[in-house]
Amino acid sequence: MVVENFTGISYESWKETCDMYLSTVTDISLRRSFAMYLQLYPFTRITSVDKTIISSKGFYDNFIKSGAIFHNDSVLKRSNNFILKNNGGFRDAQLLSPLMFLILQAIGVEICKRYRQKRETDENIVAFYAGNFLDHKSLYKSQYQEFSKWNNYYAEEYPYFIKTDLSDYFSNIKFDKLLNLINNNVQAKFTPIQQKTIIDILNYCGDGKFPLVQNSTASSFLATIVYLDIIDVKLGNFIKKLPNIEAYKLIRYVDDLYIWLKPKTESNLNQEYNDIRAEYSSILNSYGLTLNTKKTGLYTGSDIDEKLKWSIYNDVVNEQRNAVEMYLDNKNWTENVNKFITSLFEKKFDSTLTKESFQKVINNSFKSDDIVGISGDEIFKRIIYDHSEYLQDDFVIENMSSLLVRQGISTFYMSPQILTTMVLNTSPGKNKNIAVKSLLNQLFIRNKNQVINRYDIVIALQYLLNTGFSHYDLKEKIINRNEHNLYLYIKKFCCQNFLIDFKKHNDYTHFKIINGDWKTYYLYFNYYVEISKKQYMEAYAYFKTYFDRMTALIAAYKNNKKLNVNKYFKTKQLEKFYKTIIGKNVGKTLEKAGKLRNKNPLVHSSMEMVDWSDWTEIINKMINDLNKILQETLTELKQNL
């Protein structure tokens, strides 16, 4: 049987993806980094045997190439993720099952192999994204370091730069434009069915939008290298023509673009800035994108350090990091930590604590004139993550507990991940001192009062990530009661090896009867995608065809004959066939199913369904009834497998 690879993912791309994300079994540093992120945490639970299985040619042929992976309910799990923006708001981010996450990354790897950048023809343009498929980098750190290094390098040569930003970038990416950009710039084109499937997978992973998924290198690659490729080239061509510009460089990290300018004459470049901003905004608009003018401005090269916003994981050069470490080692920072907590208490007490004032408190507590170019925020985070000895002080612990007891947990909403980690790191071995107990107590009080919000969930998640998801009550009483889908993700993928759940839902009966028939898996996946979008007419059209094809496959298996789809689509034929297996007369259900299909405007010109007020309920019931027939039939056949 010829198997159509309808995802377009080659085995080479699948293997490379597995090597990038499953190397946690041998790479301790990678495992430690992955353990910080909810989306990546499940990869810290796998064994070397699991890696061998998942990355094998057999697994690829059986599940990825055929599409059988989409017939597994464990894979098609999706939940909201709780990721905060810099301004304190929430991103519209999705949380995918580990295997669906790998599929998304493998699509990115495959496109990367085929795509040829237009910007490569212009030596003045450099683009970085979160990770690097060519270098097998799965995390953003190294690429952001490169981005920062290039900007610091050009700050020595170019007197001016324009810092730009896009508004709601990911949510404004258009699938049709993305597909056109891919098709027009790949060496080997994807087939029409592969193109549709790729877009369907992106759509599903993003819950109807471009997928914003934590640490998804594929999303960042597509959004940066592909979607902004021609935009960068067009902008570069425009800048070349400006009469007062001697030289320029475009340095991009995803949607952040730094435009370095060297004028021919001494000038403040206000005119050139306005021209470039207007042109860039116009180009973006033609792709459905919007320039964030509030975060766009003209600066001198000396401003670059402030604009890059270094953090503990984005050091520009190792020498700078070493300088910070030496500085931290030469001072006891416990007093600064207590000053920070006291300042938070005062700000909260007089109702002046905001996101902006919170950052000022950090800088005032930790910034020092003794070391240039490093913010108080940098030192603060380095202390929390790398120097917990300054937190393990009786006064620090008592002050943190007092802050929580007297002011409540809302102070932690300013920076939930960092402040939660700070509390946990006051206790060696994560033992529950009074600060940790106060934090937990505040969460359970809010839960009892039924006022749990998303910031509380972030705090609970950060606690669980830091403690290996071992706190039973936090999972059951807070996560499960308030975010059930998130709880299922944690239970299935973080508290155990995710292959356990995959194998549990991998129905061997289905697998043997379908026998690698990719069209059946294609139909089921399309049904699942449409039903997840609440597109019920489309979903029923796919499911009824899937049901008929499954019937023909069951008959082929039962009678030990070749697949014949033309024999099992009439109601009488179907009724007779199913009665011989399950001993029940399902003729009325099958007759209704056939009539319902013919009333679907996607199938028949009568379009009777559009006149019904309850067609959604009717379709859902019919899908359930047909699925019940299939399940009963497969149960009867299991004893003969």
Q: Mean pLDDT over residues 580-596, rounded? A: 88
Instruction: Check pLDDT > 70 for residue 640.
Output: no
Helices 434-448, 454-466: axis angle to 10 degrees equals: 140
Instruction: Check pLDDT > 60 for residue 321.
Output: no
Nearest to 148 by CA among 119, 128, 173: 128
β-partners of residue 262 are: 247
All structural domains of the chain with their residue ranges: 115-173+210-309, 318-467, 508-638
Instruction: Label residue 376 by pLDDT band (50, 70, 90).
Output: confident
Q: Mean pLDDT over residues 61-65, rounded? A: 95
Q: Mean pLDDT over residues 150-158, rounded? A: 94
Instruction: Check pLDDT > 90 for residue 273.
Output: yes
Q: Mean pLDDT over residues 275-303, rounded? A: 95
Q: Mean pLDDT over residues 196-225, rounded? A: 97
> Which range has the top average pLDDT, 257-271, 378-392, 478-492, 574-588?
478-492
Q: Do 167 and 290 contact (CB within 8 A), yes or no?
A: yes
Q: How far is C-alpha 324 from the geometric centre of its chain's CA atoms?
A: 32
Instruction: Check pLDDT > 50 for residue 312.
Output: no
Helices 270-285, 229-240: axis angle to 10 degrees equals: 150
Output the six-digit token pair for 503. 């194998």
Instruction: Check pLDDT > 70 for residue 268.
Output: yes
Measured in residues, the chain has a length of 641
Instruction: Report how far residue 239's alpha carbon sits from residue 243's, in angstroms, rounded to the nearest whole number.
Output: 9
Q: What is the pTM of this model?
A: 0.93
CB-count burial class (<10 Å; 0-12, 13-18, 19+) for 193: middle
Q: Give every strand in the sheet of 245-253, ordered side by side.
A: 125-128, 245-253, 256-263, 160-164, 297-300
Instruction: Label residue 37 by pLDDT band (50, 70, 90).
Output: very high
Instruction: Check pLDDT > 70 for residue 323.
Output: no
User: Which residue type, as a one-letter code, is found at position 141?
Assistant: K
Instruction: Label residue 327 by pLDDT band (50, 70, 90).
Output: low
pLDDT value at residue 285: 96
Nearest to 88 by CA among 551, 445, 461, 411: 411
Q: Radius of gyration (Cα) for the chain, nearest Å?
A: 28
Instruction: Check pLDDT > 90 for residue 62.
Output: yes
CA 296 vs CA 157, 346, 470: distances in Å: 21, 34, 45
pLDDT value at residue 300: 92
Q: Mean pLDDT over residues 383-395, rounded? A: 91
Nearest to 273 by CA among 263, 264, 284: 263
Q: Do 363 and 310 contact (CB within 8 A), yes or no?
A: no
pLDDT value at residue 317: 37
Per-residue model confidence as pLDDT tens digits over 430-458: 568 999 999 999 999 999 999 999 999 99
User: Which residue type, as a one-letter code, is found at position 517?
Assistant: D
pLDDT value at residue 569: 67
Q: Mean pLDDT over residues 90-117, rounded? A: 97
pLDDT value at residue 310: 42
Q: Mean pLDDT over residues 538-554, rounded? A: 94
Q: Mean pLDDT over residues 201-218, rounded? A: 96
Output the six-digit token pair for 545. 């065809």
Q: Do 248 and 122 contact (CB within 8 A), yes or no?
A: no
* φ, ψ for residue 465, nearest 5 deg: -60, -40
Instruction: Check pLDDT > 80 for residue 374.
Output: no
Q: 259-268: which pairs have CB atoms within 8 A and are 24 or more residues apart?
A: 259/161, 259/162, 259/164, 259/235, 260/151, 260/154, 260/155, 260/157, 260/158, 260/160, 260/161, 261/158, 261/159, 261/160, 261/161, 261/162, 262/157, 262/158, 262/159, 262/160, 263/159, 263/160
Instruction: Label residue 97 by pLDDT band (50, 70, 90).
Output: very high
Tell me the average pLDDT of the chain. 91
Q: Mean pLDDT over residues 499-516, rounded? A: 89
β-partners of residue 127 are: 252
Assigned CATH class of 115-173+210-309: alpha beta
pLDDT value at residue 490: 97
Indicate if the alpha-carbon torsion angle 20, 21, 25, 28 is positive or negative.
Answer: positive
Per-residue model confidence as pLDDT tens digits over 235-267: 999 999 999 999 999 999 999 999 999 999 877
β-partners of residue 79 are: 95
Q: Mean pLDDT over residues 271-286, rounded? A: 97
User: Which residue type, as a one-letter code, is found at position 491?
Assistant: K
